[in-house]
Structure 1
Amino acid sequence: MKNVLITGANRGLGLGMVKYLTKQNKAQNIIATCRTVSEELKTLSAENKNLAILNLDVTNTASFGDISTQISKIVGDKGLNLLINNAGVTTKFTKLALVKTEQLLENLIVNTIAPIMLTKSLLPLLKQAAEANGDKPMGIQRAVIINMSSVLGSIAQNEQGGFYPYRCSKAALNAATKSMSVDLKKDNILVASLHPGWVKTDMGGKNAPLDVDTSVSGIFNTISKLAEGDTGKFLNYDGTELPW
């Protein structure tokens, strides 16, 4: 993969992805976006000339055009090979009697609306990468969009209830993934939803069974193997398919 963009890269899973790509020397250009730059991300940027940090508040969709212009200057005529819509928020276990409108709206804006609108803004760069590598099969060699979802967005596997803001926003993101995969297949852009597993992060909590490195390694191993038949799928970090 030549050019990669990861949103929400200042901590947790996003930061883990940036670390993996720099350590493995897997990308020509790594673009990390975040609202607030962490010291760890600053250090990584100082140590890796191919890592660019861009300020992005995903709730400010009006700024996406400007971000797209900045990214275009970094990737040049090679376009964007991999977009990972990773930035997300969650609420604690929310029962029906306690759920609030503002929780639902915040989760929907960050987890669903932002990935859709950012993908829309970056579509010319993704198409550019797919066209520039027209001799290669559909997949990471051309252009891939990964929407970081969650098993909590699976309607079929919902046996506990609750989590209204998060579940609804991730189920909606999965629906967006499916539509994107249909709309962009003609452009040879692969789209998939990925569940990172239950990971030890600020969002996942201390009781999560997976560490960030294991999750991230699995995610990129899965991404590297994606082929045309995988577009529109909902996958676990280890590549196994999940029910919608």
Structure 2
Amino acid sequence: MNSILITGCNKGLGLGIVKALVKKSNPPQILIATCRDIGKAEVSIHWYTFSKLSQNPASVELQSVANQNKFVHLLEINLKDLQAFPSFVQQVSNIVKDNGLNVLFNNAGVSPKFTRLGLVKAEQLIDAFETNTLAPIMLSKAFLPLLKQSAEKNSSKPLGIERAAIINMSSYLASMDMNTTGGLYPYRCSKVALNMATRTMSIDLKNDGILATALHPGWVKTSMGGSNAPMEIEQSCTAIVDLLSKLGEEHNGNFYQYDGQKLPW
């Protein structure tokens, strides 16, 4: 693919996907990684200079990846700040130029809250929906012109990441058929809504040549997954990157886990 933008890359799966893409023999020509706060001391990355350098080791690692790979660009965005989206899209447009954006990977999200019905709070639900559902939908809307530009420029290619695609990071916890343990109301419900948005995007955007797919990364050892998770970040992200290249029309509007297994809604 020519270009991919991934949200939430300062740690966990976002950082893992960036590292997996960089390791490929044929990495994307442009890889744009985002996070809320790139730094706390001045650091120059390509032609962007930021006045803050984070002491978070993961953020330092992301900066190191960018410094070592000239096709990796770091941009800062708070996904709750919808007013910042137009200027953010313009920054991305300045990077991808007339080629448009091949892939928007909505990875950023908030972690599950271990809440039963008697303990769930309204603010938890609001926060989860704002980050896990509202932000990906509105960001996809904001990037639609660049995605359409890529789809049109690559119209001879089949539906997939070489043409244009929106990838939404979901979770098996959003599967109604697989829910046997209950709880986790904010996370489950916000990701179910994201799954519905993915299916709806797949219908609305198919004629524009834009694929939309929901992915479950597996139960991974991240701040969300916890130390008891059976999968390492590298294992999950390597599989996700391999799956991206295999996505086609049959995957449009459906729900898959990292290894390509189709999941029930």
Is the TM-score greater than 0.5? yes
Matched, 1:8 2:8: yes
- State the alpha-carbon separation in 1 of the partners of residues 195 and 10 from structure 2: 24
Query: 1:36 Cα deviation (Å)?
Result: 2.0
* Contact map agreement 2:113 2:186 (CA 8 A) in 1: no
Which runs of 5 or more residues in structure 2 are unaligned? 39-58
Which runs of 5 or more residues in structure 1 are unaligned? none
Structure 1 residue ranges, 4+ long, deviating more than 4 angstroms after superposition: none
Query: 1:203 Cα deviation (Å)?
Result: 1.1
RMSD of aligned alpha carbons:
0.8
* Contact map agreement 2:104 2:165 (CA 8 A) in 1: yes
Partner of 1:112: 133
Say which SS state the counterpart of residue 176 (structure 1) adopts. helix
- State the alpha-carbon separation in 1 of the partners of residues 22 and 260 from structure 2: 22
* Contact map agreement 2:117 2:183 (CA 8 A) in 1: yes
* Contact map agreement 1:153 1:170 (CA 8 A) in 2: yes
* Contact map agreement 1:90 1:165 (CA 8 A) in 2: no
Partner of 1:133: 154
- State the alpha-carbon separation in 1 of the partners of residues 98 and 6 from structure 2: 19
- State the alpha-carbon separation in 2 of the partners of residues 112 and 78 from structure 1: 28
Letter in 1 for 2:190: S
Which structure's residues are more often helix, by fraction?
1
Give runs of aligned pairs for residues 18-29 of structure 1, distance below 5 A.
18-24=18-24, 25-29=26-30
Say which SS state the counterpart of residue 205 (structure 2) adopts. helix
Task: Give the TM-score taking structure 1 as reference length.
Answer: 0.98
Percent identity over the alignment is 55
Partner of 1:47: 68
Task: Give the TM-score taking structure 2 as reference length.
Answer: 0.91
- State the alpha-carbon separation in 2 of the partners of residues 60 and 67 from structure 1: 11
Say which SS state the counterpart of residue 225 (structure 1) adopts. coil
- State the alpha-carbon separation in 1 of the partners of residues 65 and 33 from structure 2: 11
- State the alpha-carbon separation in 2 of the partners of residues 28 and 117 from structure 1: 26
